[in-house]
Amino acid sequence: MKKVKFGLIGCGSIGKVHSRIIKNLSNAEIVAISGRDNKHEDYAKEIGCSYYTDYKQMLENPEINAVTICLPSGAHSQVAIEAARAGKHVMCEKPIATTIELGQAMVDACKENDVNLGVIFQHRFDQPILLLNKAIEEGKLGKLLWGSAETIWYRDEEYFSNPWRGTWEHDGGGALINQSIHYIDLLVHLFGDPKSVSGKCRTLLHKGIEAEDLGVANIEFANETIGTIEGTTVAYPGLYAELSVFGEKGSVIIRNDHLLFYHFEDGKWSEFESILNPIKATALNTSVQVDESSHVRQFEDFVQAILDNREPLVTGEEALKSLKLIKAIYQASDEKREVTI
Ligand SMILES: NC(=O)c1ccc[n+]([C@@H]2O[C@H](COP(=O)([O-])OP(=O)(O)OC[C@H]3O[C@@H](n4cnc5c(N)ncnc54)[C@H](O)[C@@H]3O)[C@@H](O)[C@H]2O)c1
């Protein structure tokens, strides 16, 4: 195989981003999209690919080797399983699914059918995160002590007028599973498996939604480091997402996906010096738009993984970790107790 040929399922706000990215990759192609209304058909014509109203028919197209799923979160699992059974590699937007069981079923189906499963967590491919991984590996922070993930955003009523958002059935929850999951995924990626969690979730402002618009939690990881999480869509007009990592020999703060601050016991680090960006890091985060560059890097990895017959960097198993933690926070809040994971 020289090129991975994709079918896109779900052509809403993030689906269009995926189609643009795939179109620009030299070793991938977008062959078809499946959508539900005329405007999606027009979009298929605009980008020069086939159009299906039924994704099941699209899965029968033998030219397609992979699908990318950009449906409301509650629909990810069934479609991914059908795609795997049709022998297609699966890329899926976050969260992997709305329940752990549905996410695990996706992982199992992809394994059974010998296809790759990748889940979009584009922030793992942000430049500051890639370098933070390297800094930790090189021991620049020493032993990690604690970290925090804060997503202090605002979403307005128009955003929640899209009927699947903030519902348990179609979204799996609210601010934690939909918005904050990106930085929660980074926390788990850096600190490892959580051991126990306590937390509180509330619907404070957006009374029209079922799930939380504020979630806070304390985590103990298996390696006995500590994590804190704050995630919200009530912080008008939208402030920041921040990941802070504190170790015995250094501290790093990444805010709005840019490096805000670092301090290492052994002095300046040229790789971090070149990307320090306090101006972008402290700007208000008021937009729902996605910066596509990290999505591009994740797609490059996913496509190359298929061509090289290896696993992608963010697998289904990796994606289940943040889902399990968030579901444990919901349980801890509902049952008013610390939950062991
Ligand atoms: N990685 C990110 O930064 C990011 C950003 C936004 C959304 N997302 C995720 O992407 C997913 C989609 O979010 P969105 O904001 O694009 O939602 P959206 O509502 O804008 O788009 C969903 C699309 O799916 C279509 N659809 C529903 N059922 C379908 C079916 N059976 N066949 C074909 N099309 C169907 C809808 O018509 C709609 O066009 C969610 O899981 C969300 O969490 C990720």
* Structural domain boundaries in the chain: 4-120+294-313, 123-288+322-340
Average pLDDT over residues 156-176: 95
Report the predicted TM-score, pTM, of the whole model to 2 decimal places: 0.97
Residue 197 Cα to ligand 1 middle (Å):
30
- d(CA 220, CA 31) in angstroms, rounded, equals 45
Q: Is 119 in the pocket of ligand 1 (CB under 6 A)?
A: no
**β-pair type (66-69, 4-9):** parallel
Q: Per-residue pLDDT averaged across 167-195, rounded?
A: 97
The model's pLDDT over 44-81, given as tens digits with 9 standing for 90+, comes to: 999 999 999 999 999 999 999 999 999 999 999 999 99
Q: Is 35 in the pocket of ligand 1 (CB under 6 A)?
A: yes
DSSP H helices in 156-275: 157-160, 168-171, 175, 181-191, 270-273
Counting from 1 in the atom list of ligand 1, the atom nearest the Cα of 121 is: 1
| 37 — pLDDT class (breaks 50, 70, 90) | confident
Q: Mind giving me the DSSP string for 72-113?
A: -GGGHHHHHHHHHHTT-EEEEPSSS-SSHHHHHHHHHHHHHT
pLDDT computed for residue 11 by the predictor: 95
pLDDT tens column, 240-280 = 999 999 999 999 999 999 999 999 999 999 999 999 999 99
Atom of ligand 1 at shortest range from CA of 55: 32
Q: Which of 35-39, 212-216, 335-339 has the lowest mean pLDDT?
A: 35-39
**CA 171 to ligand 1 center in whole angstroms:** 10
Cβ burial of 211 (10 Å; 0-12, 13-18, 19+) is buried
Nearest to 77 by CA among 169, 146, 180, 209: 169
CATH architecture of 123-288+322-340: 2-Layer Sandwich (3.30)
- Is it the case that residue 96 has pLDDT exceeding 80? yes
pLDDT at 284: 96
Ligand 1 centroid from CA 219, angstroms:
30
What's the mean pLDDT when you consider all of the chain? 97
Question: How confident is residue 224, by pLDDT bands cut at 50, 70 and 90?
Answer: very high
Residue 38: its pLDDT value, please? 85
- The whole-angstrom separation of Cα 341 and Cα 338 is 10
Question: By alpha-carbon position, which residue is closest to atom 20 of ligand 1?
Answer: 12
Is 201 touching ligand 1 by the criterion CB < 6 Å? no
Does ligand 1 have an atom closer than 6 angstroms to the CB of 152? no
Is the pLDDT score of 1 beyond 80?
no
Q: Is the CB of 70 under 6 A from ligand 1?
A: yes
Mention the CATH class of domain 4-120+294-313: alpha beta
